[in-house]
């Protein structure tokens, strides 16, 4: 698996420039809705990906304790790939990315080219804390791409996440 992550990191570094240059205007309302869903009060993606999206656990900004989930900052996934992995979930060794669509792995929403009966139990990960609609998953991905993927955490985004004056954002204050 290591080589996969190294390759992904390299590809990510090479892709930053074209991504930034070709970036489209962010749908802010969608990104904000996605941020709410990322929180423990939403679908709780934070539990495994950390609030920074960096896959470092706990509330201390830039903690070095690894989380269960990979970094969304260095993710090289396309929008479509993210929509699929969030809807379908994914299992990697002992680490599980839950599935967030109720109809995932059915004819309605096949996952990685498979549907229920042809998939082993391992390939159909546990459902997430709550199910998300297609529109909510779109919003999640807009948020991830606007705030995490290839980005550096800003004080503005931190305060948006935790609220103004939050101590959790101290490391980002000059």
CB 112 within 8 A of CB 88: yes
CB 161 within 8 A of CB 35: yes
Number of residues binding to ligand HEC, judged by CB under 6 A: 25
* From 95, 135, 156, 171, residue interacting with ligand HEC (rule: CB under 6 A): 95
| 69 forms part of the interface with ligand HEC (CB under 6 A) | yes
Distance, CA of 146 to CA of 35 (rounded, Å): 10
Q: How far is the CB of 125 from ligand HEC (least distance, A)?
A: 9
| 35 forms part of the interface with ligand HEC (CB under 6 A) | no
In whole angstroms, how far apart are CA 28 and each of 47, 75, 145?
24, 21, 12
* From 33, 45, 104, 169, residue interacting with ligand HEC (rule: CB under 6 A): 45
Distance, CA of 133 to CA of 137 (rounded, Å): 6
Checking phi first, is residue 67 left (phi over 0); if not, alpha (psi -120 to 50) or beta?
Answer: beta
Q: How far is the CB of 143 from ligand HEC (least distance, A)?
A: 8
Q: How far is the CB of 165 from ligand HEC (least distance, A)?
A: 27
CA 105 to chain centre: 20
* From 31, 82, 111, 158, residue interacting with ligand HEC (rule: CB under 6 A): 82
Distance, CA of 33 to CA of 55 (rounded, Å): 21
CB 31 within 8 A of CB 48: no
| 139 forms part of the interface with ligand HEC (CB under 6 A) | no
| 75 forms part of the interface with ligand HEC (CB under 6 A) | yes
Q: How far is the CB of 69 from ligand HEC (least distance, A)?
A: 3
* From 33, 73, 85, 147, residue interacting with ligand HEC (rule: CB under 6 A): 85
| 53 forms part of the interface with ligand HEC (CB under 6 A) | no
CB 151 within 8 A of CB 54: no
Binding residues for ligand HEC (CB under 6 A): 43-45, 47-49, 68-70, 72, 75, 77, 82, 85-86, 90, 92, 95-98, 100, 128, 140, 144
């Amino acid at each position: 698996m290591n080589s996969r992550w190294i390759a992904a990191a390299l590809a990510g570094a090479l892709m930053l420039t074209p991504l930034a240059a070709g970036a489209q205007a962010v749908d802010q309302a969608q990104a904000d809705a996605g941020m709410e869903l990322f929180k423990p009060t939403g679908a709780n993606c934070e539990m495994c990906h950390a609030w920074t999206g960096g896959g470092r656990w706990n509330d201390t900004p830039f903690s070095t304790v690894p989380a269960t989930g990979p970094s969304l900052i260095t993710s090289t996934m396309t929008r479509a790939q993210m929509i699929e992995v969030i809807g379908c979930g994914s299992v990697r060794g002992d680490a599980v990315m839950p599935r967030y669509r109720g109809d995932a792995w059915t004819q309605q929403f096949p996952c990685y080219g498979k549907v229920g009966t042809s998939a082993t139990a391992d390939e159909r990960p546990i459902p997430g804390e709550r199910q998300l609609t297609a529109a909510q998953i779109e919003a999640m991905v807009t948020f991830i791409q606007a705030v995490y993927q290839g980005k550096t955490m800003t004080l503005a985004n931190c305060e948006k996440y935790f609220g103004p004056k939050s101590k959790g954002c101290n490391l980002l204050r000059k």
